[in-house]
Amino acid sequence: MTPIAVAYITAAQGGGDSERWTRMLGEALGRPVDMRVWPNIGRAEDVTVALAWKAPGGALARFPNLRLIVSLGMGVDHLLLDAKLPADIPIVRIMDEGLIGQMSEYAIYYALRHHRAIPAYEASQRARQWKVEDFVDTADRRIGIMGLGAIGTDVARKFLGLGFPTSGWSRTPRNLVGIACHHGAAGLDAFLAGTDILVDVLPLTPETTGMIDGRLLGKLPKGAYFINMARGGHVVDADLLAALDSGHLSGATLDVFNEEPLPGSHPYWTHPKVLVTPHIAGETNPRTAAASVADNIRRLEAGQPLIHTIDRAAGY
């Protein structure tokens, strides 16, 4: 069977996972994949499909016969930043149940850690102190999810399943059973006022860049907790630090940053109310993601509509 020539393009730390992608995509397609791993792309004319994660600027413009760009992450901000991104080629993203499940695990783990006062118990153990912290009923801890796409929906449903009152905010209206859904600028204040743990899973777009600033954080109730597993670019760092230092926020778990890797001198590293993880909340897993890529390649070849497509104008 003729192999399909696919470019694998990433400038991310660690170089990605091209061997597993070659194997898993080949299995999902039922046909060999001739993977061209950037920058060793061979004859650029052969390539019709590109898998990209943080591709170097201009890289995708190198393939004259490219017909499909696949984002290897759920977010596509990394692609849309490329000034030379070919204009008329469809962009799809992976839809990875594995990654979505990991994101939910991450949010739930850090939310429960805060909810059950685990940091206080850890400190008590170190001090050999038998000390019971105040009890907060699950019914009194309101979870608010910003972003109700595939990830936000899964996260919200799982929090709801644990018994937390759960609400969501999104740009456009959504309707999810059991979840109080707010939308648009008009819905933001009410959403924030009813959120004790804010979980950010929004895409990074011009509209959401710098959105989490002092004004927005000020609308959360005093003592609220913030979990960012979306994009650091949403946050005005100085405002978040000020909200933590004033005691308005009780703490934050941050997986994503304005600059990654987070510079060694950044105050987040040592802030007593901040937990830092290195952008690991959801790792794309070729085992679970390859099926959606293979599905789109088959659709492309059969002239059928693609799925999980990106709206370049909306930015996600």
Contact at 8 Å (CB) between 5 and 24?
Answer: no
Which is nearer to ligand GLV, 230 or 236 (by Cβ)?
230
**187 or 233: whose CB is closer to ligand GLV?**
233
What the block records as the tokens of 238 is: 């100085």
* Closest-approach residue to ligand GLV (CB): 73
Q: Is 47 helix (H, G, I), strand (E, B) or coil?
A: coil
Minimum CB distance to ligand GLV smaller for 73 or for 147: 73
Task: Please pick, among 231, 271, 298, 308, the residue that the annotation labels catalytic.
Answer: 231
- The stretch among 42-50, 69-77, 111-119, 140-148 that binds ligand GLV (CB under 6 A) is 69-77
Q: Which whole-number Å values give the CA distances from 268 to 256, 262, 264, in the listed order?
A: 11, 9, 9
Stretch that binds ligand GLV, among 1-9, 72-80, 126-134, 212-220 (CB under 6 A): 72-80
Q: How many chain residues are in contact with ligand GLV, going by CB under 6 A?
A: 5
Contacting residue, 16, 26, 73, 187, with ligand GLV by CB under 6 A: 73
Q: Please indicate whether residue 114 is annotated as part of the active site.
A: no
Of 278-307, binders to ligand GLV (CB under 6 A) are: 282, 284
Of 102 and 195, the one with the shorter C-beta distance to ligand GLV is 102
- Applying CB under 6 A, does 152 fall inside the site for ligand GLV? no
Distances (CA, A) of 142 to 136, 156, 194, 216, 223: 11, 11, 7, 17, 12
Told to check if 254 binds ligand GLV by CB under 6 A, we report no
With a CB cutoff of 8 Å and minimum separation 6, the contacts of 102 are 281, 282, 283
Of 16, 26, 75, 168, which lies in the binding site for ligand GLV, with binding defined by CB under 6 A?
Answer: 75
In angstroms, rounded to a whole number, what is the distance separating the alpha carbons of residues 93 and 105?
Answer: 21
DSSP 163-204: T--EEEEESS---BTTBEEEEHHHHHHHHHHT-SEEEE----
Q: In terms of CB distance, is 251 or 282 closer to ligand GLV?
A: 282
**Residue from 37, 47, 55, 74 binding ligand GLV (CB under 6 A):** 74
C-beta separation of 145 from 197 below 8 A: no
- The CA distance from 228 to 77, in Å, is 16
Cβ 119 vs Cβ 113: under 8 Å: yes
- Is residue 279 part of the annotated active site? The answer reads yes
Q: Which residues are identified as catalytic? A: 231, 279
Residues that bind ligand GLV (CB under 6 A): 73-75, 282, 284
